[in-house]
A = this chain, B = another copy of it.
Amino acid sequence: MAQLCVNTKSASRHVKGAAHGFTPMAPGCEAVIMSSALVEALRAGLPADAVLTDPDVTSSYAHDMASFCDAGAPAVVVLPRTVEQVQHVMRTATALRVPVVPQGARTGLSGGANASDGCVVVSLVKMDRILEISPVDRIAVVEPGVVNATLSRAVAEHGLAYPPDPSSWEMCTIGGNIGTASGGLCCVKYGVTAEYVLGLDVVLADGRLLRTGRRTAKGVAGYDLTRLFVGSEGSLGIVVRAVLALKPRPPRQLVLAAEFASAAAACDAVCAVMAKGHLPSLLELMDRTTIRAVNSLAHMGLPETTEALLLAAFDTPDPAADLAAVGALCEAAGATQVVPAEDAAESELLLQARRLSLTALEAVKGTTMIDDVCVPRSRLGDLLDGVERIAEKYALTIGVCAHAGDGNTHPTVCFDAADPDESRRARESFDEIMALGLDLGGTITGEHGVGVLKKEWLARELGPVGVEMQRAVKAAFDPHHLLNPGKLF
């Protein structure tokens, strides 16, 4: 490999010596040689503008939106436009044993797309074509870099919907959504990304192309490898094409807001609504901290004296009737006020408040750690209770907004990152919330993924046999551990 070092001034001097066996290799030279060989090999199968090596540029690809997650410096960032180019990248990476970190729009919240030192970042954002939309088959075929909102708007023109709607839907890509099995507000009725992925084309670690799944409504031929890739955070292969299931576009939803004097009462209402067999298209909760943060950011005039605000929506043929029934259940659970929106505009305003929650909480102290604990919805009250105790114990502001209908909460620790003690307390409270979630029969992540942020916790949730079998699957797909190393496990 020494002859490849001529591209790199600082290293070539030493290598010449090394070739004659006289001069010892200077520290760091090996990495430089490797990097140079790598870039040259990558360039052999990629257009010039698809290979970025300027550190000022590549460093901007170092991390996603998570706090407290280490990120390394990529050796190179590539922006392939075709399946063949991705295959070339993976063949090169395997030949040279260089780690690869696949990325979408880097809106993730767990560090799952963070670079590791010396890796190849494969950004899929340039593979952004919608290849097909079929109203009869109710499918879309897309490349991974398609932005969620772009797809949603495109299928809406055909009277169809692609339901998964993470908060970042205007930025995040379908490939990223598949990597983290993203959720959103709609999941209580429409489920998560996993339920919409029918088939995938995946470039494996060694560059082979694997086609999984199908474009039919049903299919059980062999093991469900499609679902194995969904939520695998780029650690098993690189998704280069997806067949997605679509739904008929539902009627516009109508929203109701219910105020409660305690979080417990709001949780009782959630349980009553679900136990009675209602199918809301959205059932969201904001606690007092979140309400105040939103008011403070956007002056939305939400009721600051209330302890918890519940938003319920229906996109049924008669949403007003459904909202009336749910309103009655809220009142029975102790709601102090129930206000159904009169029209779509009022509904949108209420949802706007919910969507601003995380941004508003971030403004409280400058930094947040957003947790993603999901518990059986019957334990939602216990979780909120526990989070309040944890906030007191650590003297921290922790706001909770939640996809309450799913039991999926986002306790959000607000802290000043410049204050080391507060940062430490933030980290400890964050861990304590996950421990509480597991104690309540829940999971450490409902929709954000494990990434770097929660990998120690994953082992706690899965137990030793679980971890062993997950590692066995990883080894079957990526024997050299090149794909997104240091994530998940």
Binding site for B on A (CB under 8 A): 134-139, 159-160, 180-181, 183, 187-188, 192, 194-195, 204, 208-212, 214-225, 227-228, 230-232, 236, 248-249, 271, 274-279, 316-318, 374-378, 403, 405-408, 441-450, 454, 458, 461-463, 465-466, 469-470, 472-477, 488
Chain B hits for A160, CB < 8 A: 277
Tell me how far the C-beta of A55 lies from the nearest C-beta in chain B, rounded to whole angstroms.
33
Known A231-B224, A475-B476; judge A219-B275 contact (CB<8 A). Answer: no
Give the residue name and chain of the B residue nearest to A160 (CB).
B277
Task: Let me know if A187 and B472 touch, CB within 8 A.
Answer: no
Chain B hits for A406, CB < 8 A: 216-218
26 A-B pairs whose Cβ atoms sit less than 8 Å apart in the complex: A136-B271, A138-B274, A159-B277, A183-B218, A204-B469, A208-B465, A214-B374, A216-B408, A216-B446, A217-B377, A217-B406, A218-B446, A220-B231, A221-B450, A222-B461, A222-B470, A223-B231, A223-B474, A224-B227, A225-B466, A225-B473, A228-B228, A228-B473, A248-B277, A469-B477, A473-B476
Given the complex of chains A and B, what is the CA–CA distance between A215 and B275 in angstroms?
Answer: 16
Say how many copies of this protein the assembly contains: 2
Give the residue name and chain of the B residue nearest to A180 (CB).
B220
Task: Let me know if A224 and B137 touch, CB within 8 A.
Answer: no
Chain B hits for A274, CB < 8 A: 135-136, 138
Chain B hits for A227, CB < 8 A: 194, 224, 227-228
Given the complex of chains A and B, what is the CA–CA distance between A227 and B228 in angstroms?
Answer: 7
Task: Let me know if B223 and A228 touch, CB within 8 A.
Answer: yes
Given the complex of chains A and B, what is the CA–CA distance between A343 and B218 in angstroms?
Answer: 30
Give the residue name and chain of the B residue nearest to A272 (CB).
B136
Chain B hits for A225, CB < 8 A: 466, 469-470, 473
Given the complex of chains A and B, what is the CA–CA distance between A201 and B374 in angstroms?
Answer: 20
Give the residue name and chain of the B residue nearest to A209 (CB).
B465
Chain B hits for A444, CB < 8 A: 221
Chain B hits for A477, CB < 8 A: 469, 472
Chain B hits for A219, CB < 8 A: 374, 443, 445-446
Tell me how far the C-beta of A383 lies from the nearest C-beta in chain B, rounded to whole angstroms.
11
